[in-house]
Structure 1
């Protein structure tokens, strides 16, 4: 499904990953994949180590990479290779970026975490920080953030005004009046849900797999309030409780 999302990692006081994801952004999709990665023993430390070799590139650098990829595809076509950019997109759902620069692909999704974890001095990984997507309340239906400083995994739904978002995570993203994702739940990395089913269950009534949160957002405009424990900044939900 074309449910879009933003997958973030916060480390050493800043966003080091903010990955725009084109498909399967709902909790059973990208959310569950993130949970699986961070639940594996040692993956958090691997991620921290890899992030030392992850570089956020500029828009100019990203455009240059796209230009080189397009030139390479045209050269292959001119050489008689039948896989055109259009055919490649039809076969993979993406473009040449998916194989040549997977960390910059809109299809990477939660896979960006493993890509970053494998980064090294010999094989640095470029990333594009797509934080502006957090302000797109129409299309940013879900957002996820792994905070490696405070050891929490946060799940966000559709957009609301910053004062009503239940979190300060995105307070510096965009202007004062720009919408940002609304905090649904935070989970301690030391006490994560046992499996994706438990993860979905702990999201509670806020999430119904049959109804996307964007529909509710449209009904209330952007003046969304968050009730209960999710309304407090830095709230951590104990899955065992």
Structure 2
């Protein structure tokens, strides 16, 4: 479903490395759950090592991507279709560079915001008016995570 979201990743040093727009499944039961599962099962040491090597896209690289008629295949991590798959791509060292989404613009039309903050050691999910934060060392189960987004009206 076309539920827009933004994913962000902050390094242990406090640098915003990833700020990416996604077009699909931006609700907690979609991208949120996928990110949670990555955080629970991925190699986060390798992820952070590779994350620190990723530069922000430069003008020459933008030209390279724009000239590539098959850019979504060759640079899938830049696509709005990438979603939470970017985290595995980072872990595997596939991501050559990233392009940041304009946060102010994204706040106007995104429903979900997902932040992995290694500096604070938390995974934050903002979905409409609900914000939840989980310690990266004590991540919830999928059920516990999703329960954080159930309103009293839905629970009844």
Q: TM-score range by the shorter chain?
A: 0.7 to 0.9
The match for 2:24 is 23
CA offsets, 1:178-201, max 9 Å, x none?
A: xxxx66010001111112x22110
- The structural deviation recorded for 1:62 is 5.1
The answer to whether 1:126 aligns with 2:126 is no
List aligned pairs for 1:82-231, cutoff 5 A. Answer: 96-119=70-93, 125-130=96-101, 132-158=102-128, 184-195=131-142, 197-205=143-151
Deviation at 1:55, TM superposition (A): 1.4
Per-residue CA deviation, residues 200-230 of structure 1 (Å, 9 max, x unaligned), is 102342896xxxxxxxxxxxxxxxxxxxxxx
Q: Do the aligned residues in 2 keep the contact of 1:56 with 1:127 (CA within 8 Å)?
A: yes
Q: Relative contact order (alpha carbons < 8 A, sep ≥ 6): 1 or 2 greater?
A: 2
Aligned to 2:66: 67
What is the Cα deviation at residue 29 of structure 1? Answer: 0.7
For structure 2, the 5+ residue unaligned runs are none
Larger radius of gyration: 1
Give TM-score scaled by structure 1 length.
0.58
Gap regions ≥5 residues in structure 1: 71-95, 159-181, 209-241
2:16 counterpart SS class: strand
Paired residue secondary structure (1:37): helix
Q: Which 4+ runs in 1 deviate beyond 6 A?
A: none
Distance 1:6 1:67 in 2: 22
What is the SS of the residue equivalent to 1:55?
Answer: coil
Match in the other structure for 2:55: 55
Offset of residue 31 of structure 1? 0.5
CA–CA distance in 2 between the matches of 1:206 and 1:56? Answer: 42
Name the count of aligned residue pairs: 153
| Alignment root-mean-square deviation, CA | 2.2
